[in-house]
Amino acid sequence: MSLDRHKLQQACPSFEAAKITWVLDEVLTHPASGANQLFSKPTDAPTNTGPSGKKAGHDFFQRPLLSADRKSYWMLDRSLCALPCLEAVLGVLRTSHKDFDDRLGTPIETFVREQFAAHNVPTLTGNYRVDGEEGECDIVVETSEAIIFLEIKKKPLTRRAQAGSDAHVLLDLANSLLAAQVQAGWHEVRLRKHGFLELDDRGVRTRLDLRGRAIERIAVSLMQFGGFQDRVLLKQFLEGTLHADFSVNEPSLQNAFAKFNGLLRELREQVNQLHPGEATLNQPFFHCWFLSVPQLLVLFDDVESPDALKQALWKTRSLVTGSADFYYDFAWMQRAAESNATKPVS
């Protein structure tokens, strides 16, 4: 897709031409040298060590546009450039508001809840206190057969992780997937133990009753984590790290790994409480998910009720294609369902 700066300025007469030029050149477009400069091996990633470090390595995901003359601009396929558009805007906001990332969680949660409401799926949220312990539910969806806890984390997959740093991959997963699953895990433990939770949403109290229903736990990220959000990989990660304890020689990472180990201890305690006395655990995390906000939105396409949401979610719940791509798996199941629906009845 090509864009012409002069035509954009003509199409937006209410904006100053200089502002449009600034947005195009300084916010949305890579330098004239192009994207992914000095990117020759996986560990080449932009760093904060000087101007040259910030421009080295894989950085195409930061901005959506390319331009050689600053008169015409090119955008590749929108599937590649949608997230760079968002990241480019967030990058500007971060420089203007130092605590911007800390304030990002509430708008994301509000947006997701609005999407549920737009598809006739009521949600609950609020704080509760049980046995002297406090908890906070981001989003709860009740269906006739299941209660779905969604915990939203804004932590992205960082540049160092995308460049192949094992330590940073683990920490990014810990602060997104694992932190959200542990939070949802305590909701499950307390709901199963007491049979209900009383949620307080700014003074409005709502009782959430278990009533023998299944429980699903969804960790929701703003940005996509790629293949790390595959259900098979999720299962392997949670089961493989359940009894692990990590150490690191790098002093700057020791506190972060101490927090990671703390989350794993909580996860072990939850498993012990949910499966007391069981010598062999049979897929204790099968009811756990890791989805991005864009992936969650795809589920809403044909959803107009809580039970319809459960049906959409269940389409890929037991599916293993080896693609490690939620979109591929979901589209494959959609096509299979449409094909079966059009087959003549013999």
Query: Over 191-235, what HEC string results?
Result: HHHHCEEEEEECCEEEEEECCCCEEEEEEEECCCCHHHHCHHHHH
CA end-to-end span of the chain, whole Å?
48
Asked if 112 and 104 touch (Cβ cutoff 8 Å), the reply is no
Cα distance between residue 338 and residue 82, in whole Å: 28
Strands 204-209 and 196-201: antiparallel
Q: Tell me how long the chain is.
A: 346
Q: What's the chain's average pLDDT?
A: 90
**For tokens 């305690």, what's the residue?**
269
- pLDDT tens digits along 198-249: 999 999 999 999 999 999 999 999 888 989 999 999 999 999 999 999 999 9
Q: Is the dihedral of CA 43, 48, 53, 57 positive or negative?
A: positive
Residue 84 pLDDT > 90, yes or no? no
pLDDT cut 90: percent of the chain above it = 64
Q: Would the pLDDT of 51 be above 80?
A: no
Please, which residues have CB within 8 angstroms of residue 24's CB and are 6 or more apart in sequence? 3, 5, 8, 65, 67, 70, 73
Share of the chain above pLDDT 70, in %: 94
Q: In this structure, are strands 124-130 and 133-142 parallel, antiparallel, or unpaired?
A: antiparallel
Largest CA distance in the chain: 71
**What was the pLDDT predicted at 45?**
66
